[in-house]
């Protein structure tokens, strides 16, 4: 078992000597096995340092608190630094209009990245295994997906997220735990058929194994490997053509129409998605019908014809696509107002949930003797300079503020331009304000008027947690 995991780590170059690794530890069977295996390998041959992160989702009441205590005790026993986050997932899911599954995943990964940033770790390890891979593929297939969805989860994502157990089956993990007499926590929600993944795990896969193919899990994983190789090739080929035929500008991308039309239909679709991702930053709310509309537009080749890719609920701006004298032009459209305007009050002390982009913002009174650690996620301001109440809102047309270090005010739009913040991201940057001024362009810049000075006595700490 240990050798198999080590081979997976080496095959995908998951870890290097000196790496700091945050392990997602739920307390369940899979994550306990992962932590124990990495613990056995950490000094030799890997030479890495381990940390554990646990999120209490607030879904299972006392059982969830027992999971957290179990994870804490296990880390204390094994000498592994432990980090805990407690969040009311059901409440957040209701406020965001999303499923508990989706919000829980966002919170979980957001916390893992937050811990990694805090301790300067460069890897995050999760306990996904071969059966999870099969479930993911079936889940994507049921919802409707292209080739990329059928490739499942990669062994390494974005160079930081690693899945060392991905080539092990659930049965192998359970045998390992039994062999080493390792205890773990049972999560009763794994049997709740309300969740789609649970129905796939507990009903669909067993039915496929008994009625169609007893090796369905291995078969799905083999298929995902084949498709991943082909997806990688097509992705690289599309990027090569993009570099050859596309002319990118600040807020638009222009294609030679004849070159675009000469590409195979499958590549045209990939090129359209690549261009939209480059301009918008993501493909949120972009459907196959939008892509088809662009393909149809290009095939018509009549100058002046155009179609529009709408913006998304998460803040991505719309893109106008038009044919113009032998060119296919994709133009990012900046709107005068955000796609969705939001404004929420922030108590002091207090906490609020911001939906787009999803984050939790917290305000608290602070004693400077505790230390001040400024970062893009944390600022400190003089409470005596706050005018009225604190609020969080989107930008408005004509917004101005006084950036830290400047004598006069500046248009917020000009600030964004100077900082080279892409147009499609500007509406999704929340602003911390009071009754008179912008205090903080969240994650970017503090106002000069609210900075701490030697005479500041009452300090407020404002921090954000993204997920």
List pLDDT tens digits, range 347-366.
Answer: 999 888 887 778 889 999 99
> Tens digit of pLDDT for each residue in 257-285?
999 999 999 999 999 999 999 988 888 88
User: pLDDT grade, residue 334 (50/70/90)?
Assistant: low
Question: What mean pLDDT comes out for the span 70-88?
Answer: 94
User: pLDDT grade, residue 340 (50/70/90)?
Assistant: low
Query: Strand 246-248 relative to strand 161-162: parallel, antiparallel, unpaired?
Result: unpaired
Token pair for 325: 């004298």
H-helix segments, 255-411: 257-262, 265-280, 288-300
> Tens digit of pLDDT for each residue in 370-416?
888 888 889 999 999 999 999 999 898 889 999 888 888 989 988 88
Residue 28 CA to residue 8 CA, distance in Å, equals: 22
Residue 467: predicted pLDDT:
67
Element (H, E) at 247: strand 246-248
225 CB-side CA count, 13 A: 10
H-helix segments, 42-83: 62-78
CB 51: neighbour CB atoms within 10 A?
22
Residue 314: predicted pLDDT:
61
Measured at the CA of 151, the angle between CA 147 and CA 154, to 5 degrees, comes to 140
User: pLDDT grade, residue 94 (50/70/90)?
Assistant: confident
- Phi-psi sector, 59: left (phi>0), alpha (psi -120 to 50), beta: alpha
> Tens digit of pLDDT for each residue in 17-73?
999 999 999 999 999 999 999 999 999 999 999 999 999 987 767 888 899 999 999
Partnered with residue 247 across adjacent β-strands are 254
CB 255: neighbour CB atoms within 10 A?
25
Count how many residues are written for the chain.
Answer: 467
Question: What mean pLDDT comes out for the span 122-142?
Answer: 96
**b vs e for 353-364, b when ≥16 Cβ sit within 10 Å of the residue's Cβ?**
bbbbbbbbbebe
Please say whether the beta carbons of 217 and 134 come within 8 A: yes
Helix (H, G, I), strand (E, B) or coil at 386: coil
Residue 70 CA to residue 139 CA, distance in Å, equals: 31
Domains of the chain: 2-220 (3.40.50.620), 249-332 (3.30.465.60), 343-466 (3.50.40.10)
Nearest alpha-carbon partner for 390 in 354, 351, 346, 421? 346
Residue 91 CA to residue 97 CA, distance in Å, equals: 10
Residue 313: predicted pLDDT:
61
61 Cβ contact list (under 8 Å, min separation 6): none
DSSP 332: E
Partnered with residue 335 across adjacent β-strands are none
CB 172: neighbour CB atoms within 10 A?
18
pTM for the model: 0.72
Question: What mean pLDDT comes out for the span 205-226?
Answer: 96
Residue 149 CA to residue 288 CA, distance in Å, equals: 14
Residue 31 CA to residue 63 CA, distance in Å, equals: 17
């Amino acid at each position: 078992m240990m050798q198999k995991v080590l081979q997976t780590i080496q095959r995908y170059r998951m870890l290097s000597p000196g790496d700091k690794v945050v392990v997602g530890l739920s307390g369940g069977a899979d994550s306990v096995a992962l932590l124990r295996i990495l613990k056995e390998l950490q000094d030799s041959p890997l030479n890495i340092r381990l940390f554990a992160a646990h999120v209490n989702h607030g879904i299972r009441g006392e059982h969830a608190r027992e999971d957290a205590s179990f994870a804490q005790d296990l880390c204390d026993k094994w000498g592994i630094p432990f980090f805990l986050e407690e969040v009311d997932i059901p409440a957040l899911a209701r406020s965001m209009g999303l499923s508990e599954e989706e919000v829980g995943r966002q919170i979980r990964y957001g916390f893992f990245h937050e811990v990694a940033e805090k301790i300067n770790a460069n890897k995050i390890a999760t306990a996904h295994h071969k059966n999870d891979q099969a479930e993911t593929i079936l889940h994507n297939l049921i919802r409707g997906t292209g080739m990329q969805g059928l490739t499942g989860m990669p062994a390494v994502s974005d160079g930081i997220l690693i899945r060392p157990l991905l080539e092990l089956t659930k049965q192998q993990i359970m045998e390992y735990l039994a062999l080493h007499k390792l205890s773990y926590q049972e999560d009763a929600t794994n049997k709740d058929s309300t969740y789609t993944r649970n129905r796939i795990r507990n009903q669909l896969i067993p039915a496929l194994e008994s009625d169609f193919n007893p090796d369905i899990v291995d078969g799905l994983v083999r298929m995902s490997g084949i498709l991943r190789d082909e997806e990688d090739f097509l992705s690289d080929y599309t990027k090569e053509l993009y570099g050859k035929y596309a002319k990118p500008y600040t807020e638009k991308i222009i294609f030679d129409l004849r070159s675009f039309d000469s590409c195979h239909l499958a590549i045209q679709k990939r090129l359209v998605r690549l261009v939209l991702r480059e301009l918008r930053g993501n493909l949120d709310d972009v459907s196959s019908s939008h892509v088809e509309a662009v393909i149809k537009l290009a095939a018509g080749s009549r100058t002046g014809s155009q179609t529009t890719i709408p913006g998304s609920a998460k803040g991505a701006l719309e893109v106008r696509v038009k044919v113009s004298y032998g060119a296919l032009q994709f133009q990012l459209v900046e709107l005068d107002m955000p796609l969705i305007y939001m404004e929420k009050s922030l108590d002091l002390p207090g906490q609020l949930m911001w939906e787009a982009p999803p984050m939790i913002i917290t305000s608290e009174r602070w004693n400077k003797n505790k230390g001040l650690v400024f970062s893009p996620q944390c600022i400190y301001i003089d409470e005596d300079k706050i005018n009225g109440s604190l609020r969080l809102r989107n930008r408005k047309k004509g917004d101005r503020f006084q950036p830290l270090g400047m004598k006069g005010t500046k248009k917020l739009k000009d600030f964004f331009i100077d900082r080279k913040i892409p147009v499609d991201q500007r509406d999704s940057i929340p602003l911390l304000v009071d009754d008179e001024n912008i205090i903080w362009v969240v994650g970017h810049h503090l106002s000069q008027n609210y900075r701490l000075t030697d005479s500041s006595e009452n300090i407020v700490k404002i921090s954000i947690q993204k997920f």
